[in-house]
Chains A and B, each alone.
Chain A
Amino acid sequence: MEEKSALDPQIVGFACSFCTFKASEMAGSLRMKYPDGVRIVQVPCSSRVDPAFVIKSIFDGADAVFVAGCHPGDCHFIKGNYFTRRKMAALKEMLDAFSMKEKLRLFWVSAAEARRFVQKVTAMYDGIKEAAHADAGKRN
């Protein structure tokens, strides 16, 4: 069951309302395509993302999680994303101890960067899928 899921990755993404979520709306309006396994949770600011949400997503079955916000210095709430950056770095250390470092990504996408949003999530999806395939190949 797990193997099947990783070959068809499910990604939960947390997107801040002012930048990344806007970019995702724009990506939709421009009819850009990205994998349907990518699903977004809207949060007011990336700093709203409690590390517990990331862990919960992984425990519930997400193959990977991304947290995305405004570029450093561009935060609508002045410096929320700096807190996010530190929090996620610490969380990554912790996930590393469980060999799950690859399950968390943090990136910045401004409201104007629909293309960058699509590139980021597609690359993330493809990376996970590839790793799962390689893994499945090794086991067979």
Chain B
Amino acid sequence: MKTGIFICHCGHNIKHTVDVRKVRDYFSAFPNVVVSSDYPFVCSEPGQEMIRESIEKEGLQRVIIASCTPSLHDELFKDVLRKSHLNPFLLRRVGIREHCSWVGDDVARNTEKAIRLIRAGLYSAAHYVPLEEKMVEVTKSALIVGGGVSGLSAALFLSNMGMHVYLVEKGPVLGGHVRTLKDIWPIRKDGAAVVGEMEAELREREHVEIFTSTTVTNFEGAFGNYRATLHTPEGDREVTAGGCIVAIGFSPFDATAKPELAYGKDGRVMTTVDFEQRADSLSLPAKPRVAILHCIGSRDEQVGRPYCSRVCCVNALRTAEAVRQRYEGSYVECFYMDVRAHPRGGEEFFEETQEKGALFTRGNVAEIVPGPKGLLVRGEDTLLGELFEREFDLAVLSVGMSPPADSAAVASLMKITLDKDRFFLEAHVKLRPYDTAVKGIFIAGTCSGPKDMEEAINHGRASGVKLYGFLSAGFAVVDPFVAVVDVKRCSGCRMCERACVAKAIKFDEAARVVRVEEAACMGCGLCNSTCPSSSIGLRGYIDSALDDEIAALVEAV
């Protein structure tokens, strides 16, 4: 059997800790391996071209690609085989990056492991047979979890394109955090007006169903036909959706986690979120002195928030500006580490705020304590290198974004991975920033990491576009990994029939053997491991292929 092995360097990712040349040479000595080559990026255009050429020139019957994990770029490589008129199921992917080069440091040992992994692929691929892909119908509807700006913008896009949308919001009203904002920079509009516009547009559409005060309690199925149970105030409701966008937003950092700042103990210390809501009802003396503290719950290892929350610098600037405008002769001092006003126009906004009279002192505040008249703010000025203590009437903490409180629960329901900060993790940070590892489930907005409003809206819309791309075809291709019965060996004991969860196995009374209903088969392989005579097999994972794979993993190199 003519087999081609292509080993990817993945730039330095694999090459650094695996001796790819040694691996290549090891395999070129195999009798049935006609091509064994290594290449810097097999997934690149020239890399694909190389595979195509080899298939055509050498007449390869099996293609083994040792590169990133099989779930990445799978369709891309299958397409390469299709274009070369080779059945895509004769391709074997071996993950030597996620499962070898990235998890070990020792070059010699990693090289040996890579050889074993590739050999396992080689042995098992020998048992592969050409398979036909199966089509399933896709429900043209989307479930959107979270009714903040990103969820709303995804819902708007999808409903515009004629998809049925179920929009689920945990709270009583749509709009999320943006609804509570006043005078959004730089558009100078109230948040309620912005989300109000979006909501009004959605409410007009007949194919949009909005559920407020609703949570998703159950979620199952596969791409094209996910089934979700919505717990609404009117009782439970079952919906079927082709795909799902999760946009559950963030929780503001809980400033009580920094007790030295007296938040929650002293009413004169508030967060930017509180200031937003209570700015009108504040009772401050004439010419008030206001301290604004940046980076509360951001870039702070001690409270487990090492990341920059991206929005709080602009929030702090907005607060400084609001105080300066409201109170004539007010004294505003901002304590910052760096001012990261990164959105377009942010730097100018920073300059403007300074021109409007807000002072900026570089330094972290160590503590806030009650003083004789006001609040004593103590800390170190890191530019002058000296300690300071100043009295203020009000201290505003510019709090960062923490992962949503229910991120773990939603993650386990939808099988989404969490990153180290407990935000949702995208499938690939650069290439697939909207996808999750599960097909048809996308993430949008701040639940995948801090974003400002503009970014959250874009993210939501982009996820909507991606999901639309999947749903619009109306069908999905699913792996043809279904059970198949060898009727000559089947003794008709019906063990598999009892075990089958999908009820895809039916007993043929006349022939005294079992038959598989391919449309119903989920492809778990339970029947396969239950059969006492090994007469039922799972396509793509047949016994002999797995047996040889095991042997290859432990055999000496």
Contacts and interface: CB of A to CB of B under 8 A. Distances in A.
Contacts of A114: 417
Contacts, number: 142
Nearest to A54: B550
From A29, A32, A34, A57, name the one whose CB has the most chain B CB atoms within 10 angstroms.
A29
Contacts of A76: 415, 524
Nearest to A50: B529
B103 A80 contact: no
Interface stretch (B50-58, B83-91, B539-547): B539-547
Given A24-B98, A42-B70, A36 B554 contact: no
A83 B499 contact: yes
Interface in A44-76: 44-45, 47-53, 56-57, 60-62, 74, 76
B417 A22 contact: yes
A101 interface: no
Interface in B400-419: 411-412, 415-418
B340 interface: no
Contact of B524 (A29, A45, A51, A62): A45
A27 B499 contact: no
B526 A77 contact: yes
B224 interface: no
A19 B416 CA distance: 10
B100 A36 contact: yes
Interface string A22-47: 10111111111111100111111101
Contacts of A53: 529, 546-547, 550
A112 B411 contact: yes
Interface size class of A (residues with CB under 8 A): 35 or more
A79 B97 contact: no
A35 B100 CA distance: 10
B65 to A, nearest CB: 15
A25 B104 contact: no
A87 B526 CA distance: 11
Contacts of A57: 550, 553-554
Contacts of B113: 36, 39
Interface in B79-132: 95, 97-100, 102-106, 109-110, 112-113, 116-117, 120
Contacts of B481: 44
Contact of B120 (A41, A45, A79, A111): A41
Contacts of B415: 18-19, 22, 76, 110-112
A78 interface: yes
5 contacts: A12-B553, A28-B69, A29-B98, A36-B100, A36-B106
Interface of A: 10, 12, 18-19, 22, 24-36, 39-45, 47-53, 56-57, 60-62, 74, 76-80, 83, 87, 110-112, 114
Given A28-B102, A39-B117, A47-B526, 14 more contacts: A10-B554, A25-B95, A26-B417, A33-B104, A36-B103, A44-B538, A48-B528, A48-B541, A60-B554, A76-B415, A77-B501, A77-B502, A78-B220, A111-B437
